Structure 1
Amino acid sequence: MGQFIDLKAADGFVFPAYVAQPAGPAKGGVVVLQEIFGVNSHIRAVADGYAADGYLAVAPATFHRVKPGVELGYTQGDITAGVALKAAVEGLAAPGVLPDIQAAIDYAQQAGKVGVVGYCWGGLLTWRSACLLQGLAAAVPYYGGGMTSAIETARTPRVPVLVHFGEQDHSIPVETARAFAKAQPGVEVKFYAAGHGFNCDQRGAYDAAAATLARTRTLAFFGRHLG
């Protein structure tokens, strides 16, 4: 089990982050970027999982600039609330929430090399982090909403990137994901016979086979680049 700590971004903004410590010496650090549901029980469990695999895991609360203490479930009402909060953060003046992610990366560097992994909106933020932020060694976006748009596809990552997409994702049409893969030949892109949110075992979209395979690939990827 981890705990929340306060981190400070370069502009002085203070925000919470959930931190889970490995039992022994850390293999490196992993920043875990939330979906539109906040740093909820699922995201904390994901961070705990990376800690169990030997990484210092840090999950920053990326909604905190617009609303503190967000922890949503997966009802339609929760989805509506989460979409509105995401829009509010995306509407912030540049650089938006990126300084908070940078602060989480900087904190995680105490454990060695740092990777970032994110889901849904967090997948989009993971892609942006790989292209715009400092101190990363690897990045793994899961079904990043908006990642396949023209402006995002045009970005150039600074670190190795592994991307997971669901072939049955109604939020990210598979043809746009394949176009992203074609436009980014240096990025490793994997497709799964699953829908959006397939990694989250608290959602109906959960696909155990896809989640297990994607996690195995992610751990191997981090093992190569953070070890």
Structure 2
Amino acid sequence: MNIALTAADGHRLAAYKAGPEDATRALVIVQEIFGVNRHMRRVADSFAAEGYAVVVPALFDRTERGVELGYTGDDVTRGRALRGEINEHKTLLDILAAAGALPAGAARGIVGYCWGGTVAWHGATRSSAFQASVGWYGGGIAAAKDEAPRCPVQLHFGEVDASIPLTDVHAIEQARPEVEVFIYKGAGHGFGCEERGSYVEGDAEVAQRRTLEFFARHLGG
């Protein structure tokens, strides 16, 4: 269902919410550059089916409300433009607002994809709101690799991601040896999104299994 959140600076934003209200494990799920679209709702519902309470904040509400993009070249261009208009500090406020909407007392994690993968990294390094963080193909993580996570982190990257070179991935590994990093041979950017041409079903299933196992270790399960 759709809910409204209020960030610490007074900004009101929409969010998609799913899962049991009395869950003992909960997740903030962070969107790609395509908004809280059909794919992100599917991701949220899949975690909810595993017993997690989940909230997916609409980060683009800072600049334009109700954004749901597809995966064409024009959608990519528009999504990048929208992302570029949003301050990282404001995005952090929005994910903290989402965390506040999770069930009281639940162990809280964060997972993000594409842009959201980077935001999930910031959630781990720039806040103490989460007990575990997972990022899938977050392109901005390498630039923030010197920021120390305050909770366990797991990262997933495609070997042939055109926007995240392996040199960046290896730099992250070198800078943050405490972080679990998985590289998927032959996979590109967005390999976990079933609506993209880069989707790799087998790799997506393995990455999801690793994600669930990681959260089970750190959030209980």
Question: Structure 1 residue aligned with 2:109, among 99, 110, 115?
Answer: 115
TM-score after normalising by structure 1: 0.93
- Partner in structure 2 of residue 177 of structure 1: 169
Per the TM alignment, residue 34 of structure 1 is displaced from its structure 2 partner at its CA by: 0.2
Instruction: Determine the C-alpha separation between the residues in 2 that align with 1:224 and 1:26.
Output: 16
- Partner in structure 2 of residue 160 of structure 1: 152
Instruction: Determine the C-alpha separation between the residues in 2 that align with 1:12 and 1:135.
Output: 19
Instruction: Determine the C-alpha separation between the residues in 2 that align with 1:98 and 1:37.
Output: 18
TM-score after normalising by structure 2: 0.96
Per the TM alignment, residue 97 of structure 1 is displaced from its structure 2 partner at its CA by: 1.4
Instruction: Determine the C-alpha separation between the residues in 2 that align with 1:222 and 1:125.
Output: 17
Question: Structure 2 residue aligned with 1:189, among 181, 186, 190?
Answer: 181
Preserved CA contact (<8 Å) 1:163 1:190: yes
2:76 aligned with 1:79? yes
Instruction: Determine the C-alpha separation between the residues in 2 that align with 1:111 and 1:170.
Output: 40
The one-letter code of the counterpart of 1:203 is R
Per the TM alignment, residue 96 of structure 1 is displaced from its structure 2 partner at its CA by: 2.1
Instruction: Determine the C-alpha separation between the residues in 2 that align with 1:148 and 1:87.
Output: 18
Q: What is the root-mean-square deviation of aligned Cα atoms in Å?
A: 1.2
- Partner in structure 2 of residue 56 of structure 1: 53
Residue pairs, 1:18-167, within 5 angstroms: 18-22=16-20, 25-89=22-86, 92=87, 95-110=89-104, 112-149=106-143, 152-167=144-159
Preserved CA contact (<8 Å) 1:28 1:56: yes
Per the TM alignment, residue 12 of structure 1 is displaced from its structure 2 partner at its CA by: 1.3
2:8 aligned with 1:10? yes
Preserved CA contact (<8 Å) 1:106 1:135: no
Question: Structure 1 segments of 4 or more deviating over 3 A?
Answer: none
Per the TM alignment, residue 182 of structure 1 is displaced from its structure 2 partner at its CA by: 1.2
- Partner in structure 2 of residue 213 of structure 1: 206
The percent identity for this pair of structures is 48
Instruction: Determine the C-alpha separation between the residues in 1 that align with 2:10 and 2:90.
Output: 13
User: Which runs of no fewer than 5 residues in structure 1 stay unpaired?
Assistant: none
Aligned residues: 219
